[in-house]
Amino acid sequence: MPDVVIIGGGPAGLSAALTLRARGKTVTVVTAGETGSHLYKAERVENYPGLPGASGRDLLQAMTAQAKAQGAEFLHGRATSAMPLSGRFGVAVGSEYLDAGCLIVTSGISMGRPYPGEAEYLGRGVSYCATCDGMMYRSKPVAVIGLCDDAPEEADFLGRIGCQVEYFDKTRAKDYEIRGEQTVTTLIADGAEYPVQGIFILRSGVAPTSLLPGLETENGAIKTDRSMSTSIPGVFAAGDCTGAPYQAAKAVGEGNIAALSAVKYLDTKEK
């Protein structure tokens, strides 16, 4: 059970991990991998102090190696839900579960708005994790909306356990709507209707408000104060998910502040 779970392995999350380890706190960083980061794709980063011309990939790999060397633990996967539990927080990562004293959300920019019907049917046919919920749909028709690199692998898993899979990648359809009654019954993709009993929406990350219900946002970004505290006590946020400017230097600074605030929060609870 780590003291802190960090959701996101970009500059903000890695900076927070380093600060937490320097203050003696245990930390697990949940990350879907470097390749999903916008920074990873940057050929040259000219405005990061002290490292002019470094590639985004080089920066991320150096930060990750430093955090690991300082004792930060890493769990590869997508955090699909988080919730407060008796003064602590539970985080679901695929089929695994983490329990922590507080959370730092550094999930980057939310990739796209929820589809019509997505929030309404979440948990009633809509899922973000094939390995978590796939067994409930054996022998049943399901749709997979694949928006991340590992989506084909998860769709193959559903097929192997007996689901009847209709797969949609980024080229097959653009607009989706989810309909149903008590549970999901239909996916509408670019106007065509598909009868399904489950819909797996596989993005590189889950929108913060879907990840942690009750989290206050403003103009699509997580709302924080100067200490990087959010509307939920014990939850802090940093980096691109808190809004512009979307720059590594800003993310690293906010990650440091969020970590210091998390340390203060944990130490106060222990007294």
Q: Residue 77 corresponds to which tokens in the numbers above?
A: 């996967």
How many CA atoms lie less than 13 Å away from 30 in the CB half-sphere? Answer: 30
DSSP string, 221-240: EE---TT-B-SSTTEEE-GG
In whole angstroms, how far apart are CA 24 and each of 15, 20, 177, 237, 239? 15, 6, 47, 20, 23
The answer to whether the CB of 236 falls within 8 A of the CB of 132 is: no
What are the residue ranges in the chain where pLDDT is below 50?
Answer: none
Q: Rounded to an integer, what distance in angstroms lies between the CA atom of residue 248 and that of residue 41?
A: 13
Residue 58: which residues within 8 A CB-CB, separation 6 or more?
A: none
pLDDT for the residue numbered 114 = 83
pLDDT for the residue numbered 36 = 61
Closest CA to 14 of 55, 74, 54: 74
pLDDT for the residue numbered 193 = 97
pLDDT for the residue numbered 47 = 81
Q: Residue 197 corresponds to which tokens in the numbers above?
A: 């009993």
Q: Residue 49 corresponds to which tokens in the numbers above?
A: 């102090």
Q: Any idea which residue has 């970009």 for tokens?
A: 10
Tell me if residue 92 falls in helix, strand or coil.
Answer: strand
pLDDT for the residue numbered 14 = 97
Q: Rounded to an integer, what distance in angstroms lies between the CA atom of residue 39 and that of residue 109?
A: 12
CA end-to-end span of the chain, whole Å? 19
pLDDT for the residue numbered 128 = 83
Q: Rounded to an integer, what distance in angstroms lies between the CA atom of residue 108 and that of residue 137?
A: 31
Q: Express each pLDDT in 188-197 by its tens digit.
A: 999 999 999 9
pLDDT for the residue numbered 35 = 64
Tell me if residue 135 falls in helix, strand or coil.
Answer: helix
pLDDT for the residue numbered 111 = 56
Kindly calculate the radius of gyration of the chain based on its CA atoms and give it in whole angstroms.
19
pLDDT for the residue numbered 226 = 97
Q: Rounded to an integer, what distance in angstroms lies between the CA atom of residue 58 and that of residue 250?
A: 18
The answer to whether the CB of 179 falls within 8 A of the CB of 188 is: yes
Report the predicted TM-score, pTM, of the whole model to 2 decimal places. Answer: 0.78
Centroid of chain to Cα 225: 21
One-letter amino acid identity for 103? L
